[in-house]
Amino acid sequence: MYKLNFLQYNNMQNLHINSELSLNILSDNETYLSLEKEFLSKFSFENINYFSFCKNGFLGLLLELSKKGKIAICLGETQSLIDAAKIFESLDFEIIYLELLKDGNVDLKKLQNHNIDFLFLSSYVMDTFVKTSLEEAKKLTNAKIISNASASFDKNSDVIYFDAYKLTGFFTHSLMLFNDELFEDLVISSKDVIALKNILEALKNQKFETTTKEIFKQKLQNILKDDIYFFVDNNQTLPYTLHFALKNIKARELIRTLALDEIYISNGEGCSLGLSKPSRVIQVMGYDETTSRNAITLSFSEKYDEQTIEKIVNKIAKKYLQIKVLNQGN
């Protein structure tokens, strides 16, 4: 099996639940406190909170923050957050959006024109994994920066959160780390010890392979020639990701057929075996829906020798050309 989609689907192999993980208001809950302390220490934050990584969960966060100031959101953030923002707006609250430029970078200049208090901006754009300089963003705004740290952590973030499903393969609560008293403290029954333990374990075991990307890119270009193209400059993406597009096919067709050979790739923010929608992020960059369906993302957690890479690339090219021919016949 060749798992080239680990940032979207990183399934944990073992899940252990025991009575020590059960919180009791009349006990000292040593196991929980130990896990919490370790998690906070790992990222140098003071407080931890739990929320549901879905539009309703993010809506709750937006409503809580709206009591304290103005909010801006980058359109390159996770779909659930964008969906929550649309509902937030429908309730007559104001949201300022940071657009994506045609090359996939975040238009940070817009920050100069707005006085905001909270900015949802990660150190990478979802789907394309184009890197964003939070250090530069801080030069343009005094807002607290709230970031998804599931694929990359930036010390310039004032608040970070983690996508439980993408990290563990389980839809438990997700975690948010912050300083000061930004969010209300939760009652004991709302503290998800299982989520805390699983996400911490997943982060400890998280591996990034950075030497494979360029080899994959060169071999794909050598064999596919004019059939491969790029929406973004991969020198500006996370070093363990590769984003590209293949002409005249829908990525989901390739994802499905490669899965039969146990080669797992992705498109969009979190597709599952080709059942995803067209890439929203590519459309935000200014491309039409049809073109956005060409987009493919690879993410690397294991190092492969050149012979194995050659085998995978040849299989991708073979399946792509077969699909392309079939599509031309329709």
Q: Which helix (H) or strand (E) segment is 147 a member of?
A: strand 144-148
pLDDT of residue 33: 84
Question: Is residue 92 within 8 Å of 114, Cβ to Cβ?
Answer: no
CA dist., res. 110 & res. 38, Å (int): 37
Q: What is the mean pLDDT of each run of 10 residues along the chain (330 residues)?
A: 83 64 59 89 94 94 94 96 97 97 96 94 96 97 97 96 90 90 66 88 92 96 96 97 94 92 83 61 95 93 94 96 83
Neighbouring-strand partners of residue 175: 50, 162
- How far apart, in whole angstroms, are the C-alpha atoms of residue 65 and residue 113? 21
90-117 pLDDT tens trace: 999 999 999 999 999 999 999 998 999 9
* Two tokens, residue 105: 């970078």
Closest CA to 125 of 111, 112, 143, 107: 107
Q: Domain ranges in the chain?
A: 19-205, 209-329
Quote the pLDDT of residue 8: 76
Q: What are phi and psi of 192, to 5 degrees?
A: -95, 95
Alpha carbon distance 213, 260 (integer Å): 23
Model pLDDT, residue 28? 62
Query: 209-329 adopts what CATH topology?
Result: Aspartate Aminotransferase, domain 1 (3.90.1150)
State the pLDDT at residue 15. Answer: 66
Beta carbons of 269 and 278 less than 8 angstroms apart: no
Predicted confidence at residue 113, as pLDDT, reads: 87
Helix or strand or coil: residue 280?
A: helix
The CATH code of domain 19-205 reads: 3.40.640.10
Quote the CA–CA distance of 102 and 124 in Å, as a whole number. 16
Mean pLDDT of the chain: 89
**Separation CA 118–CA 324 (nearest Å):** 46
CB 288 within 8 A of CB 294: no
Specify the pLDDT at position 274. Answer: 43
